[in-house]
Amino acid sequence: MPTNPSATALIVSPTVIPTPLSVRFAVIGDYGGGGAGAWDVASLVASWEPDFVITLGDNNYPSGSAETLPQSIAPYAEFIDSGRFFPILGNHDVDTELGQPYFDTFDLPGNERYYDFVRGEVHFFALNSDWREPDGINAYSDQANWLREQLANSTTAWQVVYLHATPLVSREQSRVPALDWPFAEWGADIVMTGHAHIYERLAHNEITYIVNGLGGHSIYDMDDEAHPDSQVRFNGDFGALLVEGMPTMMKLQFVTRSGIVVDAFELHRN
């Protein structure tokens, strides 16, 4: 049978879905407990429709037990169920069985105590700042060695380190000096912490540090005198941080549960 010269072969190629270069994510800290403040902040976060949420620890007050965990994390059930939730351990999370209820609930990369992941042009490094971490929390520990190596090998535009306890904050009793690692020297672009229930932006060793512990549990007083590296500090209401990471710029703003923008700034990549 002769072939039809006018017939055209149809070649079907697989659909390639490019990795989005821009990612929007929310950052919450010290939100556990399931109180009204936590639900208010969760409503704010949901209204942003972020790609995912990261937490700065203390996901489950008062002591990280299995009994209180469902209530503590309920405000973020949608993100948790869809695999768009990346928590880290806080000191309260570890108080029960060294965090076993946390590990039983969350399915995280690596050893789950500290891990990394990439979304778009942002590489995230989640650390365990609690003193009970078996791989240590000082700058010479096995955990720190892991971070230094991972940062050195990172190829994304931005490197974000986040952990619970903070080395820098305008609240002396909340500082953990052992965590003052040379993050900038190792390649981090920004460090995000919780533990102190305030919001603060600091400039230290030529990079930005964020303290965000206003996720909804409680609010702390600040020292009368601001930390020498402090640029903005606030403890007037609960809120969350909204971040948009792009190849040449990162936009960040801390917003209260009532919609007031307390701090807005940008980081730029040449």
Predicted pLDDT at 3: 44
Predicted pLDDT at 21: 80
Predicted pLDDT at 6: 41
**Per-residue pLDDT tens for 215-251?**
999 999 999 999 999 999 999 999 999 999 999 999 9
Complete edge-to-edge strand list for the sheet that includes strand 207-212: 115-119, 122-126, 158-162, 190-193, 207-212, 199-204, 230-234
Predicted pLDDT at 14: 46
Longest alpha-carbon distance in the chain:
93
Predicted pLDDT at 83: 97
Residue 57 φ/ψ, nearest 5 degrees? 95, 175
> In order along the chain (270 residues), what is the average pLDDT of each group of 10 residues?
41 49 96 97 98 98 97 98 98 97 97 98 98 98 98 98 98 97 98 98 96 98 97 98 97 98 94
User: Within 13 Å and on the Cβ side, how many CA atoms surround 14?
Assistant: 3
- Distance between the two ends of the chain, CA-based, in angstroms? 64
Predicted pLDDT at 269: 87
Predicted pLDDT at 18: 54
d(CA 153, CA 143): 16
Report pTM: 0.92
Predicted pLDDT at 8: 38
Domains within the chain, CATH numbers bracketed: 23-268 (3.60.21.10)
